[in-house]
Structure 1
């Protein structure tokens, strides 16, 4: 009996010790206060999975809404359909690929096989008119979302692809707000500033009609705000929930930070054995020397313009305005984006919606951070986040973007949606051999 008491006492002591051990709360996914059964994603090229200067199957598959939707399946999310290109047309619109690095400089090539064009003139992609959840349309803008005919052969080929011919006059606003969703993400408006900025702050004029090219116009804040509020009103009918995304600072992307004054002068001096110290640029107020506050666009380095017949090297032959976003234009576009984002934040607050602050995140990573041990920055090719076009995201970038949205949703609605494992995705695909 005494021995049995000892055994019982020992067992109780072990039980007491075990009960005092610290324990970690298990993360049990839950939807919180949201019905995720039909999630739709509204936006432009970033939403669609556009990358490397084109829309193609691999990029579509890792578009951030697709990654979000995969995580939502753990909290009641339903099937999420995307307008994927078929395997035999997997290269879609075509895109650029990195073939070599020569003396640290990228050599790229255009992918031209397995394309998805059904017409060369006008360029039209193979139709995909089945119901979808990823409504992202490359090139779509807030202002153009209200324009009838954007889905016609004369409009946006990516939107035209999604519409039956009978719906060619339907606006993107109508198309994207009538999907019978239960939850939405909204990331439209980036192109309202980006088109102007990537064109060096220049509005192109159609020589035939003498009208401005709408894709290069900087949308007025009042117009932007009115359309945004109309979207939010339509999307939240019936107390439906969603998440709005702020617009990134365009100057936080490699498209504007890669080609520097020092690099341009270094290359031209090495080639000409010269000693040029300045670059002359044409601005809206006249010709002047460039400074470190001016941003040369990414495509300048491959365009063969700078230094050609002295272009940019002499005051009398300045570099054209379209090749540089000068200091004044930088201020203009950053101010406008801040105004857009103020409107987005106000719209989210007015309806109690989640806010994914993409602007803040990309500004934080511009100079480089480590996320879960992964180095991320705005460096071209090696920064992991941005694809070869310097604007759109790599698979890693899309995974990071998805997590910004997921964090915002969890914070606002009390959900417990698991984060995407960023380590599963790649950055820029490097060539098998690198020439030094």
Structure 2
């Protein structure tokens, strides 16, 4: 057994301690997951075995004492995951070398159907095809395509006769608008409502209880840094940033934009920052309003079918405002703050455990289950993206250090 695999086994065994099976609990034996990269276990820029096994869906299955079949992807992942070389300052990180061999077991039918990059319409309609050259193909196409079967996420969920369904889709109907500073990239509300409605109607027709999560406010992810915090981290007044970078005091700078900003301020690049590296205050407000609209659609469908709603938006807002507590340590939503991984969008192991516990609390309340929470001490102790001893002050008590970020060269 490899050191990496041993570490994962130890991690899961620790988090499983005290996770009994309850005779009167809902049946989790055929739990099916429909979603995007957040449900797939995507971490630090790629989909790879370690992230999949420590994602929120796998953790929930572990706490329920059941096996969740995963479409495990061989190291170094697809795309290649990033790893942290040194904390710095500045932190040095980059993609690991090599090429993944793809699915570790192409003959395993996955019950976690979540595909990175999928939006609501994709979950409903997008099917895999030959050759196997995309994450849709790797997740949904094996082993089905070997027998000429090509189904979308929702079609697979119907076919697999689920006993419980975890549904978290819609993030990619918003995300690109935030990371590219382009609100026009958001899905049209009528398209989203129609697609999401069909997803919910068809999944509800399986008879399985649905546990559904809403969409977080993407302006609080680590990929975006408020200009006020850029000012604090770089030691440059906001007024000077406005002139040099072409940003407003209420704008956000993207993760790649932080490195460019440091070079502009250092005189090695001309300003201002390109529009794709800045989310201005008006764009941010448009994104929040669209997120609110989509979440209202999600909540209405959950209420229609009496489904359990997990408020991930509230979880992330609490973490952004006051930090997230994990084993006595206060984590931050800033880059390398402990909640988000190296891509600034997807959670760390500890971040996924926080998400899992939010799901578990909702499942216990909504379905009458008695699942124990994931042991955050065990998870955080094995999380390579939690620096030892680091704890952040909540907002208003001093800005968390985001640092001047500079990705390292590919290794």
Shorter-chain-normalised TM-score: which range?
0.7 to 0.9
Choose which of 420, 428, 433 in structure 1 pairs with 2:374: 420
For normalisation by structure 1, the TM-score amounts to 0.74
Map Cα deviations across residues 48-89 of structure 1 (whole Å, 9 max, x no partner): 11111111221111011100001112xxxx431111134xx4
- What does residue 152 of structure 1 align with? 129
Choose which of 76, 79, 85 in structure 1 pairs with 2:67: 79
- Structure 2 distance, partners of 1:85, 1:379, is 28
Task: After TM superposition, give the deviation of residue 418 of structure 1 in Å.
Answer: 1.1
Choose which of 193, 200, 204 in structure 2 pairs with 1:236: 204
SS in 2 for 1:195: helix
Task: After TM superposition, give the deviation of residue 376 of structure 1 in Å.
Answer: 2.3
2:407 paired with 1:429:
no
Map Cα deviations across residues 91-140 of structure 1 (whole Å, 9 max, x no partner): 453111111233x3211122013x3157xxxxxx7783521111121111
Task: After TM superposition, give the deviation of residue 413 of structure 1 in Å.
Answer: 1.7
Choose which of 13, 34, 42 in structure 1 pairs with 2:26: 34
Can you give the 5+ residue segments of structure 2 that lack an aligned partner in the other structure?
1-17, 389-411
- Structure 1 distance, partners of 2:19, 2:92, is 46
- What does residue 208 of structure 1 align with? none
For normalisation by structure 2, the TM-score amounts to 0.78
- What does residue 180 of structure 1 align with? 161
Q: 1:105 to 1:338 in 2, by over 3 A?
A: same
Choose which of 182, 186, 191 in structure 2 pairs with 1:218: 186
SS in 1 for 2:285: helix
Greater displacement, 193-202 / 27-36:
27-36
> Which structure is larger by alpha-carbon Rg, 1 or 2?
1
Map Cα deviations across residues 287-334 of structure 1 (whole Å, 9 max, x no partner): xx422311111111345896277533xxxxx43211111111101111
- What does residue 54 of structure 1 align with? 46
- Would you say the 8 A contact 2:183–2:286 is kept in 1? no
Count residues in correspondence: 361
Q: 1:263 to 1:167 in 2, by over 3 A?
A: farther
2:319 paired with 1:331:
no
Map Cα deviations across residues 4-32 of structure 1 (whole Å, 9 max, x no partner): xxxxxxxxxxxxxxxxxxxxxx9975365
- Would you say the 8 A contact 1:139–1:191 is kept in 2? yes
- What does residue 11 of structure 1 align with? none
Task: After TM superposition, give the deviation of residue 386 of structure 1 in Å.
Answer: 0.9
- Structure 2 distance, partners of 1:42, 1:31, is 26
Map Cα deviations across residues 323-364 of structure 1 (whole Å, 9 max, x no partner): 111111101111111111111111111111111100001000
Choose which of 204, 207, 216 in structure 2 pairs with 1:248: 216
Q: 1:337 to 1:430 in 2, by over 3 A?
A: closer
2:18 paired with 1:64:
no
Task: After TM superposition, give the deviation of residue 141 of structure 1 in Å.
Answer: 0.7
Task: After TM superposition, give the deviation of residue 36 of structure 1 in Å.
Answer: 1.9
Choose which of 365, 374, 385 in structure 1 pairs with 2:329: 374
Task: After TM superposition, give the deviation of residue 172 of structure 1 in Å.
Answer: 3.3
- What does residue 79 of structure 2 align with? 93
Greater displacement, 325-334 / 290-299:
290-299
Q: 1:101 to 1:222 in 2, by over 3 A?
A: same
Q: 1:306 to 1:224 in 2, by over 3 A?
A: farther
2:256 paired with 1:299:
yes
Choose which of 103, 107, 118 in structure 1 pairs with 2:92: 107
Q: 1:130 to 1:28 in 2, by over 3 A?
A: closer
2:270 paired with 1:311:
yes
Q: 1:80 to 1:27 in 2, by over 3 A?
A: closer
Map Cα deviations across residues 170-193 of structure 1 (whole Å, 9 max, x no partner): 433323433211101000110110
